[in-house]
Amino acid sequence: MSPEEVSALVNDVRDRVRERHARQTPELPDFELPELEPLGHARDLADGKVAAIGTVNPRRPGLVNDLIQAVKRTVARSLNWMVRDQVEFNRAVVAYMDRQIETQVEYNYNLLRVARGTAQLRADLVHRMDSIDGAIAEIRDSLAETREIQSDTLKHWTEWRPAFEEKLSKTEVYFLHAVREIEGELRKREETFRADWLELHKNYEGSLSAAADEIQKKLWADLEALKAEQERMIQTELRVLRRKASLAPAPAATSEPATAPAPVPAPAAGLDYARFEERFRGDEAFVAQNQQFYLPVFEGKSRVIDLGCGRGEMLQMLAERGADVLGVDLDAEALEACREKGLAVERADLYEFLSRQPDASCDGLFCAHVVEHLPALRLQELADLAFAKLRPGGVFALETPNPGCLAIFAGDFYLDPTHEKPVPAARLHFHLEEAGFVSIETKERHPAPEVFPSLKALAELESLRPFQERFFGGLDYAIIGRKPEAG
């Protein structure tokens, strides 16, 4: 430690010792601690006497002194056993006096702390008493103001009381009149409520009865609809059976066998294709509703041929609009259904049929869900034949499953055993273009999300919407080509 640090430490110790042994303090001028200095002197004197026990008084040096000193030391040693207890007692008394002095010092220190605390407490009490005196003075002032206000209030109350009592009396009268009016109004409303409730109860009973009658009528109507649907199915089955019976070979009239034309192969041997289409493609009303899309395409066309006419839905709609129509198909049952409707149809292979038709003999060709049944290598032949048989300005409209929509492969494409393979729109467009058709349009139909609702989740995500539009668009597509006008 540096000399300055040692000096500061010594001064601090000195200040603490002075504070501990001080008899007076500046903040307590009237307080004085007991004096301990005489007690300390007495203790030091006693300690000196204890230390001198057993010693020999010094004399002038010399032989006599040495002899006397030797005798005294001998006597002292010989009496040591006698004064030993006294010496121990004296030492214990001195130790007691040391302890008493220390205790008195600690007592003085604590007494000084108590005195200081008492002085501080007295100062706080004096300060609080001054504050209480100020508060009491304020309370007295407030009481004086309150008495003045009370006196003024009593004075004004005496002046206001007659008018107040008169107003109170009028208010009581008005209140009683109001109570009587409210009671009368409540009775009137109670009567009105009772009448309304009775009327509502009657109306409820009437509504309940009417609802029950309506439900009963709807039930009977549903039963009648089910009955009609059942009868329609029965009639459909009977009609199919009649068609099959009418198509059976008639017995020979003579003993000589007649020469019959070679049979046209059926679409699928052993398969009731009419019933198959009824179940998986849809009934006639459903198919006709879908094919209304093409009516504007053939608007104003005088002669239209339906290649693969099926049950004749498109033929019937065009015939109702005044067109001269002809249907071609290989399914005998479907053709019989067309004949029952009064439609002109022919059972033939469409390639053979088109080949023997005069060129430019029609102005409209329709071919829905047929090209997927044909050999892929003959599609160009179909396009060329269609172009040759159409008049200038004629229209060739086709519809087929869209292989660009992946949903058709999870749907009904492979359900039909007569399907060869799907035809991409670009390829069919190429065949029509090679044949000479112009203004070729391709339009997707029957959006996949409408048939498969789970695909709507793709369109809801902005990042997947292009994917949905590209790979899950229309389940079918329509392609329309036009033969150029005569130049």
Q: What does the pLDDT look like over 104-150, one tens digit per residue?
A: 777 777 877 787 788 788 888 888 888 888 889 889 888 888 888 88
pLDDT of residue 435: 92
pLDDT digits (tens, 9 = 90+) for 359-396: 999 999 999 999 999 999 999 999 999 999 999 999 99
Contacts of residue 352, Cβ cutoff 8 Å, sequence gap at least 6: none
Residue 420 parent element (H or E): none
Q: Select the CATH number that applies to the domain covering 281-482 from these four: 1.20.120.330, 3.40.50.1820, 3.30.479.10, 3.40.50.150.
A: 3.40.50.150
Q: Which pair of tokens denotes residue 329?
A: 């198909």
Residue 454 pLDDT level (bands cut at 50, 70, 90)? low
Residue 411 parent element (H or E): none
pLDDT digits (tens, 9 = 90+) for 468-485: 666 677 888 999 999 998
Measure the CA–CA gap between 444 and 475, rounded to whole angstroms.
Answer: 7
* 430 pLDDT more than 90: yes
pLDDT digits (tens, 9 = 90+) for 143-176: 888 888 888 888 888 888 888 888 888 888 889 8
- What is the rounded average pLDDT of the residues 454-460? 67
Residue 273 pLDDT level (bands cut at 50, 70, 90)? low
DSSP H helix total and E strand total for the chain = 14, 7
Using CA atoms, how far residue 138 sits from 52, 148, 223, in Å, is 77, 15, 98
Using CA atoms, how far residue 360 sits from 94, 237, 329, 388, 443, in Å, is 154, 41, 21, 6, 26
Residue 362's φ and ψ, nearest 5 degrees, are -145, 160
pLDDT digits (tens, 9 = 90+) for 303-346: 999 999 988 999 999 999 999 999 999 988 889 989 999 999 99
Put the strands of the sheet holding 390-401 in their side by side order. 345-347, 324-329, 303-307, 362-368, 390-401, 474-482, 438-447
CB 24 within 8 A of CB 31: yes
* 259 pLDDT more than 60: no
- Rounded (5°) CA angle 333-338-341: 135
Residue 27, classed as helix, strand or coil, is: coil
Q: How many residues are present in the chain?
A: 487
pLDDT digits (tens, 9 = 90+) for 58-117: 666 777 777 877 787 787 777 776 677 777 787 788 788 778 777 877 777 787 778 778
Domain residue spans in the chain?
3-143, 281-482
Q: Which of 285, 243, 265 is nearest to 329 (CA)?
A: 265
* 263 pLDDT more than 50: no
pLDDT of residue 78: 73
pLDDT of residue 408: 78
* 297 pLDDT more than 50: yes
Q: Which pair of tokens denotes residue 370?
A: 């047929």
- DSSP code per residue over 230-286: HHHHHHHHHHHHHHHHHHSPPPPSSSSPP-PPPPPPPSSTT--HHHHHHHHT--HHH
- DSSP code per residue over 385-402: HHHHHEEEEEEEEEEEE-
pLDDT of residue 239: 59
Instruction: Give the rounded distance of the alpha carbon of 49 from its chain centre.
Output: 101
Measure the CA–CA gap between 158 and 156, rounded to whole angstroms.
Answer: 5
pLDDT of residue 256: 41
Q: What is the pTM of this model?
A: 0.47
* 201 pLDDT more than 70: yes
- What is the rounded average pLDDT of the residues 191-198? 87
b/e map 67-99, b = 16+ CB within 10 Å: eeeeeeeeeeeeeeeeeeeeeeebeeebeebee
Percent of the chain topping pLDDT 90: 26
Terminal Cα-to-Cα distance of the chain (whole angstroms): 124
Residue 320's φ and ψ, nearest 5 degrees, are -65, -20
Residue 260 pLDDT level (bands cut at 50, 70, 90)? very low
pLDDT digits (tens, 9 = 90+) for 16-75: 666 655 555 666 666 666 766 777 777 777 777 766 665 656 666 777 777 877 787 787
* Residue 440: DSSP 8-state: E
Q: Which of 338, 370, 372 is nearest to 353 (CA)?
A: 370
CB 364 within 8 A of CB 389: no
* 15 pLDDT more than 90: no
Please report, as a single letter, which amino acid is at residue 227.
K
* 419 pLDDT more than 50: yes
- DSSP code per residue over 348-381: S-HHHHHHTSPTT-EEEEEEES-GGGS-GGGHHH
Measure the CA–CA gap between 33 and 413, rounded to whole angstroms.
Answer: 120
Please report, as a single letter, which amino acid is at residue 142.
S
Using CA atoms, how far residue 303 sits from 27, 300, 397, in Å, is 134, 9, 14
How buried is 410 (Cβ within 10 angstroms: 0-12 exposed, 13-18 middle, 19+ buried)?
exposed
Percent of the chain topping pLDDT 70: 77
